[in-house]
Amino acid sequence: MSAAGQAGAGDRPATAPAAAPPDDLMSALRALPSRYPQARGALLPILTRLQEWRGHLTPADMRLAGELVGVAAADVFSVVTFYTMYRQRPVGRFPLGVCRNIACWVNGSEQLVATVRETLGIGPGETTPDGLFSLEEVECLGSCGSAPCLEIDSCYFEQQSPVSVKALLARLKAGAGDAAATLAAAHADAAAELRRARDGRP
Amino acid sequence: MENYLSTEFRRATPLFLEEARAKGRYRTAQRVFETLTPEQVVDEVKNSGLRGRGGAWFPTGIKWSFMPKEPLKGPSYLVINADEGEPGTFKDRQIMEKDPHLLLEGILIGSFAIRAETAFLYIRGEYKLAHDTLAQAIAELEAAGILGDAAFGTKRKMRIVLHRGAGAYICGEETALLNSLEGRRGEPRPKPPFPAVWGAFGRPTSVNNVETLANVPAILEKGAAWYKSAGTAQAPGHLLFGVSGAVERPGCFELPLGTTARELVERWAGGVKGGRRMKAFIPGGASTGFLPPDRLDVPMDPESLRKEGTMLGTGGIIVIPEGVEIVDAARVFSRFFRHETCGQCSPCREGSAWSDQVVGRFQRGEGRTEDFVLLDAIMRGSKQRTICVFPEAFAGPLGSAVKHFKDDLMAVSARRAAADAGSGAAAHGTASHG
Ligand SMILES: Cc1cc2nc3c(=O)[nH]c(=O)nc-3n(C[C@H](O)[C@H](O)[C@H](O)COP(=O)(O)O)c2cc1C
Ligand code: SF4
Ligand code: FES
C-alpha cells in the first residue's frame, strides 16, 4: 500500500473504515486551497483525493474537507450528492464502470454487462461477496471511437468484447493481492493491444 | 491546408516539451508575448473567423473582446472547458493525451489576449490519463520558466491550474462549470451576468473549449488569411470530426468544416460496419438528434445543419445501423438526459423525466398517437423557460425522432404490442431498456 493515496484501487486501507488520512495525504490536502482565489475552489480536488485513498467518502471525510476549505459539512454533503463519481458506500477493489451510452450500446455494451453478470454474478449497483468487484453502468466516457468501453478507477479499457472482459476479470482476480499494480499492468497491456488493433488511428 | 490539430495523434506516447520545441512549438507564443499587444492577438483571431468548438459556435475573437481592457482592480481569468461529455465526442481527449503542448500553447496565447495571468483548466473527472499527461506537461513549462513570474522572460506572470471534475454532464455548460470550479454543485447560473463580467470567483472570465484553443497557435503563426483558406466562409478552418457507432473504422478525423457526412462516414470511417445499411446518423453529438441517411450529403458546418433543423454541435457523427430501432436509440438518450438534468428548473426536470417515460411507452409497444402531441408540448413548454439551454439538448433526439421517424416509431410500437399479445410476456430482444 503506497501512502500518498494518488494511484487508485490498491491504495485503499483494506480494513479500518474509520481510519484517518495519513500525514502525507493530509499535507497534500492542506496545500490545495492556496491554488485558488477562494479556498472553496479546492473542495472537489480534496474530495477526489480522499476518495482515491479510501475508495469512498465517509461523513468524517466530508467534515474534514469542509474544515479545510471553510465550508459547513451540510454544504459539502450537498456537493457530494451532486456528482456521480463520489460514492458514499464502499465498492469493490475493482469498481467496473461500463458505458451504456449510444456508441458503446450500438457496439455491444449490453453484452459486456451480461458477461460480468455471468462471470461474477453481479448486476449494476452490486458488489461481489469477496469485495473484489462492483459493477455500475456509466454514461459516455469520451471513448466512443473505441467502443465499447469500460473503466476501472478512471483507467479505460477500450474496444472490449465478452472474451476480453472475461480475461480481464480473471487477471484482476488473480492479482488482487496488489490491486493497484495489477490494475496498472492490465491497463498498460490493454492500451498497447488497442494501439495494435487500431494501427495508430486516434 | 495541411493538418494543424492532429499531427501527433498517431503517436504511442505524448509529445513532451523537448521534442515539441524541436518541432517549433512555443515559438509563436514567445513572439506573441515579446512583440504583440493583446489587441493585436484579439484582432487576428477575430479576422480569422475562428468560432468556438464547444458546440455553440460563438466567434472566439468577439468573446475575447468582451473582456476588460485594463485588469480592473483585480484579475481576469481564462477557463478551459475540458469537460467533454456530449455522447459521440472524443476529440478534446485526443489533444490532451497526445499533444498537451498544443493546447498549452493555445492557453498561453489566449491568456495573453484577455490579460489573464491565471488559467484554470477544468477537466472531466474520468479523464485521468489526460489529467496526468497535462500535469506533466505543465510541470515541464514551469521548469523551463515559460510558466511562472516571467513568462518567456517578459514581465508577465502566467500560471495554469489543473482542476478535475467529478462526473456530471451539465458541468460542460460554462456557468455550471464555473460553479463546479468554485467547489459548488454544478448548477448553471442565470445569465446575465455573463462570464465576461462575472465569471470564475466573481471575476471577468472567458470560457473556451480545448479544441478552440488548439486552433489559436496556428492562426497566430500563419495568419487569418491562411486560416480562412479552409472551411466555409462563415465557419473557417478545420474541425476534429468524430465518427463512431456502427462503422468499420471509427475515429477522430481532422478535415475542413463543410466536409459532408457521407465523406466522413464512407471514405474516412470505412462505411457502415459489416456492410449493413444505415438506419440513421447523428451529425454532431447526442443533442443534435437523428437524421435519415438521405441527408448524408449535407455539409458539416453550422449553417448547413441549421438549415436541416439541427446543429453541428461537437461534430461527433454517430451511425445507427439497420436492425437497431430508433425508439431504442432514443431511449438511450432520453434516459441519459433524465439522468443529467441538474434539476433546478421544473420544465427541464419534469420534462426530461416525462419524455423518458413517453419514449419508454413506445419502446414497450404502448405508444399512442396522442403521445406525439404530449412530446411536442413538453418540448415547447421548456423552451426559453429555463436557466440554461439543456432542454434544447434533450429535445434534439426526441424532436428528430418524431420529425423523421414517426411512422417507424408507431410501427415498432405496434409490432411489439402484437408480439406481446401473441406470446404473453415475450421478450423484446436485447435492445429493450425497460
Ligand atoms: C448542456 C451543455 C453541455 C455542454 N458541454 C460542453 C462540453 O462538454 N465541453 C465544451 O467545451 N462545451 C460544452 N458546452 C458549451 C459551453 O457552455 C460553452 O459554450 C463553451 O465551453 C464555450 O467555449 P467555446 O466558445 O470555445 O466553444 C455545453 C453547453 C451545454 C448547454
Ligand atoms: S435547464 Fe435543466 S440543466 Fe439547465 S439549469 Fe435548468 S434544470 Fe438545470
Ligand atoms: S458512448 Fe461509450 S464512450 Fe461515448
Q: Find the CATH number of the domain harbouring B287.
A: 3.10.20.600
pLDDT of B423: 72
CB contact under 8 A, A106 and B324: yes
Q: Are residues B152 and B288 both part of a single domain? A: no
A94-199, superfamily in CATH? Answer: Glutaredoxin (3.40.30.10)
CB contact under 8 A, B183 and A84: no
Q: Which amino acid is at B404?
A: H
Q: What is the interface size between A and B, counted as CB pairs within 8 Å? A: 163
- pLDDT band at A17; cut points 50, 70, 90: low
Q: Which amino acid is at B353?
A: A
Tens digits of residue pLDDT in B276-306: 999 999 999 999 999 999 999 999 999 999 9
User: B183 — contact with chain A (CB < 8 Å)?
Assistant: yes
Residues 6+ apart with CB under 8 A from B248: B269, B270, B271, B272, B273
- Would B348 be classed as within a structural domain? yes
**Average pLDDT rounded to a whole number, residues B200-211:** 98
Looking at the CA of B239, name the nearest ligand.
1
Question: Which A residues in the span 95-124 are in contact with B, Cβ-Cβ below 8 Å?
Answer: 100-103, 105-107, 110-111
pLDDT of A201: 81
- Would B2 be classed as within a structural domain? no
User: A48 — contact with chain B (CB < 8 Å)?
Assistant: yes
Tens digits of residue pLDDT in A79-132: 999 999 999 999 999 999 999 999 999 999 999 999 999 999 999 999 999 999
Measured between CB atoms, which of B84, B167, B252 is closest to A84? B167
- For the record, the C-alpha cell of B127 comes out as 479523464
- pLDDT band at A12; cut points 50, 70, 90: low
Q: Are residues B248 and B186 both part of a single domain? A: no
Domain boundary among B256, B291, B321: B321
- Would B1 be classed as within a structural domain? no
Domain boundary among B207, B227, B247: B227
Residues of A in Cβ contact (< 8 Å) with B316: 144
Tens digits of residue pLDDT in B54-97: 999 999 999 999 999 976 679 999 999 999 999 999 999 999 99
- Would B232 be classed as within a structural domain? no
User: From edge to edge, which strands make up the β-sheet containing A133-138?
Assistant: A133-138, A94-99, A150-152, A155-157
Q: Are residues B285 and B159 both part of a single domain? A: no
**Average pLDDT rounded to a whole number, residues A13-34:** 84
DSSP strand pairing (B238-245 vs B316-321): parallel
Q: Looking at chain A, which residue has its C-alpha nearest residue B90?
A: A142
Residue B215 exposure: Cα atoms within 13 Å on the Cβ side: 31
User: A6 — contact with chain B (CB < 8 Å)?
Assistant: no
User: B85 — contact with chain A (CB < 8 Å)?
Assistant: yes
- Would B429 be classed as within a structural domain? no
Q: Residue with C-alpha cell 433543423? A: B309
Whether the per-residue pLDDT at B307 is higher than 50: the answer is yes
Whether the per-residue pLDDT at B433 is higher than 90: the answer is no
Question: Which of ligand 3's atoms lies nearest the C-alpha of B87?
Answer: 4
pLDDT of A142: 98
**Average pLDDT rounded to a whole number, residues B316-344:** 97
Q: Are residues B357 and B305 both part of a single domain? A: no
> In whole numbers, what is the pLDDT of chain B averaged over residues?
95
| b/e burial code for range A121-130 (CB count within 10 A of at least 16 → b) | ebebebbbee
Q: Are residues B305 and B382 both part of a single domain? A: no
- Would B397 be classed as within a structural domain? yes
- pLDDT band at B420; cut points 50, 70, 90: confident
Q: Are residues B128 and B202 both part of a single domain? A: yes
Report how many domains make up chain B. Answer: 3
pLDDT of A44: 98
Nearest to residue B126, comparing CAs of A116, A60, A144?
Answer: A144
Tens digits of residue pLDDT in B140-167: 999 999 999 999 999 999 999 999 999 9
Residue B22 exposure: Cα atoms within 13 Å on the Cβ side: 5
Q: Residue with C-alpha cell 464547444? A: B54
Whether the per-residue pLDDT at B116 is higher than 80: the answer is yes
Q: Find the CATH number of the domain harbouring B81.
A: 3.40.50.11540
Q: Are residues B302 and B190 both part of a single domain? A: no
pLDDT of B381: 87
pLDDT of A199: 79
CB contact under 8 A, B201 and A36: yes
Radius of gyration of chain A (CA): 18
- pLDDT band at A15; cut points 50, 70, 90: very low
Looking at the CA of A156, name the nearest ligand.
3
Q: Are residues B181 and B69 both part of a single domain? A: yes
Q: Are residues B370 and B397 both part of a single domain? A: yes
Domain boundary among B172, B193, B227: B227
| B432 contacts B328 by C-beta, under 8 angstroms | yes
CB contact under 8 A, B430 and A110: yes
Residues 6+ apart with CB under 8 A from B233: none
Q: Are residues B196 and B286 both part of a single domain? A: no
Domain layout of chain A by residue ranges: 23-82, 94-199
Question: Which of ligand 1's atoms lies nearest the C-alpha of B213?
Answer: 26
**Average pLDDT rounded to a whole number, residues B197-207:** 97
User: B142 — contact with chain A (CB < 8 Å)?
Assistant: no
- Would B144 be classed as within a structural domain? yes
Whether the per-residue pLDDT at A4 is higher than 60: the answer is no
CB contact under 8 A, B127 and A154: yes
Whether the per-residue pLDDT at B367 is higher than 60: the answer is yes
CB contact under 8 A, B87 and A201: no
Q: Looking at chain A, which residue has its C-alpha nearest residue B181?
A: A41
pLDDT of B430: 43
- Would B111 be classed as within a structural domain? yes
User: pTM score, two decimals?
Assistant: 0.95
Q: Looking at chain A, which residue has its C-alpha nearest residue B187?
A: A82
- CATH for A23-82? 1.10.10.1590
**Which residues partner with B161 through β-bridges?**
B120
Q: Looking at chain B, which residue has its C-alpha nearest residue A152?
A: B126
Q: What is the Å distance from ligand 2's center to A41 Cα?
A: 22
> 3-state secondary structure string, chain B?
CCCCCCCCCCCCCCCCHHHHHHCCCCHHHHHHHHHCCHHHHHHHHHHHCCECCCCCCCEHHHHHHCCCCCCCCCCCEEEEEECCCCCCCCHHHHHHHHCHHHHHHHHHHHHHHCCCCEEEEEECCCCHHHHHHHHHHHHHHHHCCCCECCHHHCCCCEEEEEEECCCCHHHHCHHHHHHHHCCCCCCCCCCCCCCCCCCHHHCCEEEEEHHHHHHHHHHHHHCHHHHHCCECCCCECEEEEEEEECECCCEEEEEECCCEHHHHHHHHCCCEHHHCCEEEEECCCHHHCCECHHHCCCECCHHHHHHCCCCCCCCEEEEEECCCCHHHHHHHHHHHHHHHCCCCCHHHHHHHHHHHHHHHHHHCCCCCCHHHHHHHHHHHHHCCCCCCCHHHHHHHHHHHHHHHHHHHHHHHHHHHHHHHHHHCCCCCCCCCCC
The domain in which residue B315 lies consists of 238-321
Residues of A in Cβ contact (< 8 Å) with B71: none
Looking at the CA of A103, name the nearest ligand.
3
Question: Which of ligand 2's atoms lies nearest the C-alpha of B391?
Answer: 1
Q: Are residues B306 and B354 both part of a single domain? A: no
Q: What is the Å distance from ligand 1's center to B314 Cα?
A: 9
Q: Tell me, using a 6 A CB cutoff, whether residue A155 lines ligand 3.
A: no
Whether the per-residue pLDDT at B48 is higher than 90: the answer is yes
| B172 contacts B84 by C-beta, under 8 angstroms | yes
CB contact under 8 A, B340 and A100: no
pLDDT of B71: 61
User: A184 — contact with chain B (CB < 8 Å)?
Assistant: no
User: B266 — contact with chain A (CB < 8 Å)?
Assistant: no
Q: Find the CATH number of the domain harbouring B375.
A: 1.20.1440.230
Give the span between the Cα atoms of B162 and B177, in whole angstroms.
13
- For the record, the C-alpha cell of B210 comes out as 480545448
Q: Are residues B159 and B297 both part of a single domain? A: no
Residues of A in Cβ contact (< 8 Å) with B249: 201
Nearest to residue B410, comparing CAs of B356, B369, B378?
Answer: B369
User: B316 — contact with chain A (CB < 8 Å)?
Assistant: yes
Question: Which of ligand 2's atoms lies nearest the C-alpha of B342?
Answer: 8
